[in-house]
Structure formats: C-alpha cells, structure tokens
Amino acid sequence: MATTSDIRNGLCIKFNHDIYKIIEFLHVKPGKGPAFVRTKLKSLTTGKVLDNTFSAGHKIDDVRVETHKFQFLYAEGDDFHFMNAESYEQITLNKDILDAPGLLKEGENVMVIINAETEAPLSVDMPASVVLEVTYAEPGVKGNTATNATKPAKVETGASVNVPLFINEGDKIKIDTATGAYVERVKE
C-alpha cells in the first residue's frame, strides 16, 4: 500500500478494478481546506485516459512491475512483435498497448512494463524521441506565410507529421514520441 505522497509519473496503480498508469500529477495545497493530488490516469487495458483527484494521505494500491528492454521486430496488422534483449524470447502485443505505434521503426529499442505477479505485459515505453527519414514532403512555397508555417510530411514508418517548410524528402528529423510533434532536423 502506498499513499498520495508516493505518486510519481509512471507509477502503476489498481483503481476502479483496473490497472492504471499515472501520466501526470499535481500536488495542490489550497489556502483553505485540505491538500489534494490531481492526477491523469491511463488505463493499461483499454487505453482510456481519465482525470481523478485523490485527497492527501489517501491510500492507493500500487502494482509491482518490472521493466525489460525489448527490440521491435516487425508489425503484422494490429500485432506488433518484440524480442527480449536479454533472453531473446519473443512476445506479440496489440497496437492498443502502444502509445505511438506509427513512430515505431524496426530495430527500435523500447522498455516493456510487465506485471510482476501475472507476467503480463502492461504497456510499452517509447524513447523520448525518435529519428526518422522523411519519405514524402510537398515543396514549401516561400512568401505566402506568416510565422511558423508548417506542412504535412510522411516519414519512413508511414506516420504523418507537421514539419517546417524547409524540410525536404530524404531529411532525417527528430520527433517527440509523447506528442508526435517535430523537434528538429538531424544532420548526419
């Protein structure tokens, strides 16, 4: 059993007969009344995100989890195949468990969170950012823009990302996996 003071990003808890992962939290101490913790929880079974407020000192049921390094092998429809980097054991996960399946490139290393009691995979933590090559981008027209103009571009995994006008086909770009947004152009 843990309390609200143990809440941190990435903590997995049992709540409403389901397992949730804490995405965001904020400790609030108003001038009048008791303190509380405002959280954003993501269900690890359905993927739904909900907001919840815990009063200070509230007991929460944490789930014991282990993280293992896995390498993404390939996708087959909605199934994604991964291999454990230590034991070479392969697992297949549904695309619903992944936060950003469109940004996952073959050979990419990810961290898979596994429930220590049931040995069931709960979620996949992507790296903070990935570097992908632009396979299609319309040419940007200079002069008809104000500030921060963007255009859609397709990357090698098939995902579509809004990029600045100076990005062309063949450029490698860094993408934030949490938001799916362009970060910077990468020179190699």
Could you tell me which residues come within 8 angstroms of residue 20 by beta carbon, excluding any fewer than 6 positions away?
12, 13, 14, 41, 42, 43, 44
pLDDT band at 70 (very low <50, low <70, confident <90, very high): very high
Q: Supply the DSSP symbol for 149.
A: -
Question: What's the pLDDT score for residue 145?
Answer: 62
CA 84, CA 128: separation in Å to the nearest integer? 20
pLDDT band per the 50, 70, 90 thresholds, residue 144: low
| 123 Cβ contact list (under 8 Å, min separation 6) | 21, 44, 97, 99, 112, 113
CA distances from 59 to 18, 35, 135 (A): 16, 14, 50
Answer for the pair 135, 155: CB distance below 8 angstroms, yes or no.
Answer: yes
Distance CA 159, CA 168 (A): 16
pLDDT band of 51, cuts 50, 70, 90: very high
Cα R_g (the chain), whole angstroms: 20
- Rounded to two decimals, the pTM is 0.73
| Better-predicted residue by pLDDT, 139 or 39 | 39
For the residues 66-94, what does the mean pLDDT come to? Answer: 89
Q: Give mean pLDDT, residues 125-142.
A: 84
